[in-house]
């Protein structure tokens, strides 16, 4: 299943990755090879086979509704790229 440069652009946009022109072509080639490789799955007969999302037969544990996390804003924001007045900053978003 060949992927062309345009599709690479679309996927890169979905994944929010900036990719240069030459890189786009290289990725198109690589992605095509990888997708080609995984195509072989199509040949396996999976009629009536259920998905395996988790290796173990387990169900979700429940947590009691009690507060356990203290306010650590200063510690967390000490490693943030940009904050102001306790808020994380990003370029102005127009809605």
Partner 1 sequence: MHDQTIAELAAALERGECSSVELTRTAIERIERASELNAFITVTPESALAEAEAADAARARGEAGPLTGVPIAHKDIFCTEGVRTSCGSRMLEAFVPPYDAFVVERLRAAGAVSVGKTNMDEFAMGSSNETSYFGAVKNPWDRRTVPGGSSGGSAAAVAAGLVPAATGTDTGGSIRQPAALTGISGLKPTYGRVSRYGIVAFASSLDQAGPMASSAEDLAILLQGMAGFDRRDSTCVDRPVPDYRAEMAGTDLRGLRVGLPREFMEAEGVDAGVSSAVSAATQALRDAGAEVREITLPNAGMAVPVYYVIAPAEASSNLSRFDGVRYGYRCDAPDDLEDLYKRSRGEGFGEEVQRRIMVGTYALSAGYYDAYYGKAQQVRRLVQEDFARAFESVDVIAGPTAPSTAFPLGEKADDPVQMYLSDIFTIAVNLAGLPALSVPAGFGDGRPVGLQLIGNYFDEGRLLGAAHGYQQVTDWHRQRPPVEE
Partner 2 sequence: MEYEAVIGLELHAQLATRTKIFSGAPTAYGAEANRQACAIDLGMPGMLPVLNERAVHYAIRLGLALNAEVAGRSVFARKNYFYPDLPKGYQISQYELPVVGAGHLDIELDDGGRKRIGVTRAHLEEDAGKSLHEGFTRKTGIDLNRAGTPLLEIVSEPELRSAREAVAYMKKMHSLVRYLRICDGNMQEGSFRCDANVSVRPVGETRFGTRAELKNLNSFRFVERAINYEIDRQIEVLEDGGEVIQETRLFDPDRGETRSMRGKEQAHDYRYFPDPDLLPLEITPALIDAVRDELPELPDARAERFRRDHDLSAYDAGVLTGSRELADYYEAVVAAAGDAKLSANWVMGELSGALNKEGLDITRSPIDAATLAGLLLRIRDETISGKIAKEVFEAIWDGEGDADTVINDRGLRQVTDNAAIDAMVEEVIAANPEQLEQYRAGKTKLMGFFVGQVMKASGGKANPQQVNEILKRRLDG
Closest distance of CB 65 from partner 1, Å: 14
Q: Which does 95 bind (CB under 5 to 8 A by kind): partner 1, partner 2, none?
A: partner 2
User: Does 4 participate in binding partner 1 (rule CB under 8 A)?
Assistant: no
CA 46-51-53 angle, to 5 degrees, is 150
**18 with 12: CB under 8 angstroms?**
yes
User: Does 44 participate in binding partner 1 (rule CB under 8 A)?
Assistant: yes
Q: Which long-range contacts (CB under 8 A, 24 or more apart) does 37-46 make?
A: 39/1
Site residues, partner 2 (CB under 8 A): 14, 16, 53-54, 58-69, 71-73, 76-77, 82, 84-95
């Amino acid at each position: 299943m060949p992927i062309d440069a345009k599709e690479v652009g679309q996927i890169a946009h979905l994944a929010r990755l900036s990719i240069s022109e030459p890189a786009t072509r290289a990725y198109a080639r690589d992605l095509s090879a990888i997708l080609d490789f995984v195509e072989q799955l199509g040949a396996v007969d999976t009629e009536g086979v259920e998905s395996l999302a988790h290796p173990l037969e387990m169900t979700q544990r429940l947590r009691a509704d009690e507060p356990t996390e203290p306010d650590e804003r200063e510690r967390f924001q000490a490693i943030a790229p940009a904050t102001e007045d306790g808020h994380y900053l990003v370029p102005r978003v127009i809605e």
